[in-house]
Structure 1
Amino acid sequence: MRKLFFLVTLLAVAFWTCTTKSKTDASSDTFFIDLEITDSLRWEDLFQGVEVIPLEFTDKSMLTGVDEILIQDGYYLIFDQKAQVLYKFDHEGKYLSKLDKSGEGSDEYQLIYDVSINPYSGNIELLSGYGSFFIYDKNFQWVETIDFPEMISASKFDYFSEDVIILYSQFDREYTLRLYSRSEEKHLNKMNQPTKSVFENNNSVTISMLNNPLINTPDGLFFCIPFYNSVYRIGLDGLEFDYQWDFGKYVVDEGGIKKDDPEEKIMEQGRKIIESFSSLLNLYENEKFILVQYYLKGKLGTILYHKESQKYKILYDYVPDYSLVLLSDGIVGPTNSMRLQTIDKLLKNSNSGFAIEDKVNGAEESNPFLLKYTFANDYN
């Protein structure tokens, strides 16, 4: 299945002209973001092109969803959490192979919540919600399994160093974060996040959470606190506050509720928050950019902060709200037949004659698509 590529004519408008730097000075620990400057911003102001990559649909590659996208050696690795399968596609979306070993055997895995590529070994590593770690090589051959001690639940993980893994648990009441040493086969430190919103403290209600609070950046590993939108540096000795996102009047007002208040009261306040501003949804960072996503009055907002100039742009809609990959020159994210209106708007703005509906109309089933956005030339 061939990839479909189209370019959009660039507007004669400088990308960063309508904003100023978001930190007050080099030593500031606050990002001040004005969410009311974006009325006229269109997606063409931010991107010069979008590559549509249909993921091949075969009897061996029937995806139920795209929960995580990994890129290795020019291939796309797509994790389908519901199916508990990791699929491999080439750069045009052609299906190649899959890691499908859910079970209880010595080389099999159970209840995978998170998947990543080890930047040091190139191995593919899978985190089980039960607190185990399953490691496979690039060819999906089993290497080893690690059982983390004293850990009954796990949600996300990342790499603190070649030896040390950071483990995040959303449901562990004792510790939120653990630093585990492969060589010493033990936890080096166990930590809790400094502050929690009442919505997190309530056992039965979760209004809004970051998709992944662990942020791996060129400057180190960080942990983001939802609702308060504060970011902490992760060290072997613990967490140290680094900076906070300040959205002015669009902040979370818990309305005086307490963690032991009735669920109905918490949910009602949660609905009021969602109508105004909830909390950060995604946070990514690389050498050039910080990409932040949030919901405001029911609309998805995407902030692209340019680190060198310390300026930013905000775009509503168009950009996927989950499973994003931030590249040096753009982003990759999923869409599917239920969100064809997104692609349709992009195609209309590009003056392209291609109709994405032709790929799904008349077909009983189809896989999601990947969208590879390229930032405008001025910013690559």
Structure 2
Amino acid sequence: MSKNLILFLVVLNFSCNRVEKFENSSLEEIEIDLSETIDLRFTDFFDTTLIVPLEVTENSLLGEATKVITTESFIFVLDRHVSESLYIFDYQGKLINFFSGTGNGPEEFLRVTNFYLSKDSDIVFIQDSSLSKILAFNFDGELIFEKKFDFRESFNDMIPYEDGYLILKPSLDNLSIELEYLDQNLDFVETPLEFIENDFLLEAGSKFQFFYPGSDGDLFFKETLSSNLYLLNSGEYQVFSLEFPEDRIFSLSNLPWDDSKPSIHMVKLFQEIRFNNFLNLGDQVLDLGDLVFVNFYEGGRLGLLAFDKVENKARIVSSFKNDMDGVIENLPAIFPTNFQANQMIINLSPTEIYSSIEMRKGINPYQDYLTEILPSLEENPVLFIYRKK
């Protein structure tokens, strides 16, 4: 199969600060047979449902839950688009603390574009892309340090790795993607990976997650709308290319590789996918053990793909039945709030839950509990957290 895929892989040598070529990388091309599907149930993966109604206070009026990360004691909920704030709740849904814009001066931020946790989950990093800075706080809201980035160094995702952090960002010439390693103070150390894969530039694309934790402590990362999943585990890279039939995918005319690329606007790309009923891999990835779930587009519809890491096989999920609480009878795709492996989160508004209960009375085992608590929630979402067996 013809693919414009050029990999330049190098590995960090932390002991002597040298960059060496990485030699144990591999590319697995996995053909997707559209006629081969799989039926799944929640109980194939989960045995526990945690229902967390998020408390409504004057400091916790959420417009939208766009990112959720859980720790042993706390739930971190980002509202990126409406309040532009980060909230910390306990597992009863009680608000513990929140981070909201304070200003544009030193040790201040205007909005929470994204947030990250340290390896030990004792530091929360607040990113404000409009000010090109990250601020590190403890959970009590005390500032630990502030890191200002050059505008050209901006990035949209960060994750703990080894003794520091990995970030993924475009190269300065915007022709490739660089994986960079930062130390604990977020200072640049090395570029352990650079890769060039797409034969076009995507204009006005917005993506806030590139790293996807794996179920065994490994790490996936994925570029916007790319068919490739990159797996990093114990210093080894693997590339899994999930291939839909060529006559069903969008592609630009191939051009000789030089110092430029053709470009396409994100809106135009989705118009092409929708109007031509194209298939394209999406950007939600969730590792639940042997199976890794990836959203995909089929025209204007979202679907779900199950990639078997053991068999190196990908199948379309024809049904993913919620046989635990039935709040969503059949899950069509992964919710974009999921940023961790080995669990799944569905977030619904009280109105959506009311509608579900009315349509399926007597089926939801938590119907009485939900009906009792919903009037007090106003419009804050309720989190349904499904934990892996």
Fold in common (TM above 0.5): yes
1:99-138 equivalences in 2 (<5 Å): 99-120=99-120, 122-129=122-129, 130-138=131-139
Q: Is the partner of 1:354 in helix, strand or coil?
A: helix
1:203-244, Cα deviation, whole Å (9 max, x unpaired)? 35x4xx765222333464443234441123569x9x966221
Cα distance in 1 for partners of 2:291, 2:313 equals 10
Cα distance in 2 for partners of 1:216, 1:39 equals 24
Cα distance in 2 for partners of 1:300, 1:42 equals 18
Cα distance change, pair 194–134 in 1 and its aligned pair in 2 (3 A) = same
Counterpart amino acid of 2:337?
Answer: S
Instruction: Tell me which residue corresponds to 2:73.
Output: 74
Cα distance in 2 for partners of 1:85, 1:226 equals 25
Q: Is the partner of 1:53 in helix, strand or coil?
A: strand
Cα distance in 2 for partners of 1:339, 1:35 equals 32
Instruction: Tell me which residue corresponds to 2:88.
Output: 88
Q: Is the partner of 1:154 in helix, strand or coil?
A: coil
Shift in Å, 1:370: 0.4
Consecutive unaligned residues of structure 2, counting only runs of 5 or more, are: 1-25, 256-261, 321-329
Shift in Å, 1:60: 1.9
Cα distance in 2 for partners of 1:246, 1:173 equals 25
Query: Quick check: 1:90–1:96 contact (8 Å CA) kept in 2?
Result: yes
Counterpart amino acid of 1:85?
Answer: S
Counterpart amino acid of 2:251?
Answer: E
Q: Is the partner of 1:125 in helix, strand or coil?
A: strand
Greater alpha carbon shift after TM alignment, 68-77 vs 276-285: 276-285
Instruction: Tell me which residue corresponds to 1:230.
Output: 228
Instruction: Tell me which residue corresponds to 1:324.
Output: 338
Greater alpha carbon shift after TM alignment, 188-197 vs 158-167: 188-197
Q: Which has the higher contact order (CA 8 A, sep 6+)?
A: 2
Q: Is the partner of 1:146 in helix, strand or coil?
A: strand
- Give the TM-score, by structure 2 length: 0.69
Counterpart amino acid of 2:54?
Answer: L
Instruction: Tell me which residue corresponds to 1:245.
Output: 242
1:1-380 equivalences in 2 (<5 Å): 29-38=28-37, 50-82=49-81, 83-120=83-120, 122-129=122-129, 130-149=131-150, 151-168=152-169, 173=174, 176-177=177-178, 178-182=180-184, 185-189=187-191, 193-196=195-198, 198=200, 201-203=201-203, 206=205, 212-217=209-214, 218=216, 220-233=218-231, 242-248=239-245, 251-254=248-251, 256=253, 259=262, 268-272=271-275, 275-285=277-287, 289-305=291-307, 307=309, 314=317, 315=319, 317-318=330-331, 320-328=334-342, 330-337=343-350, 339-340=352-353, 343-344=356-357, 349-350=363-364, 353-354=367-368, 356=370, 359-360=373-374, 365-374=378-387, 380=389
Determine which structure has the larger strand proportion and give its number: 2
Instruction: Tell me which residue corresponds to 2:18.
Output: none
Cα distance in 1 for partners of 2:339, 2:264 equals 38
CA RMSD of aligned residues (A): 4.2
Cα distance in 1 for partners of 2:172, 2:61 equals 31
Q: Is the partner of 1:119 in helix, strand or coil?
A: coil
- State the identity as a percent: 15
Cα distance in 1 for partners of 2:60, 2:167 equals 32
Cα distance change, pair 226–203 in 1 and its aligned pair in 2 (3 A) = closer
- Give the TM-score, by structure 1 length: 0.71
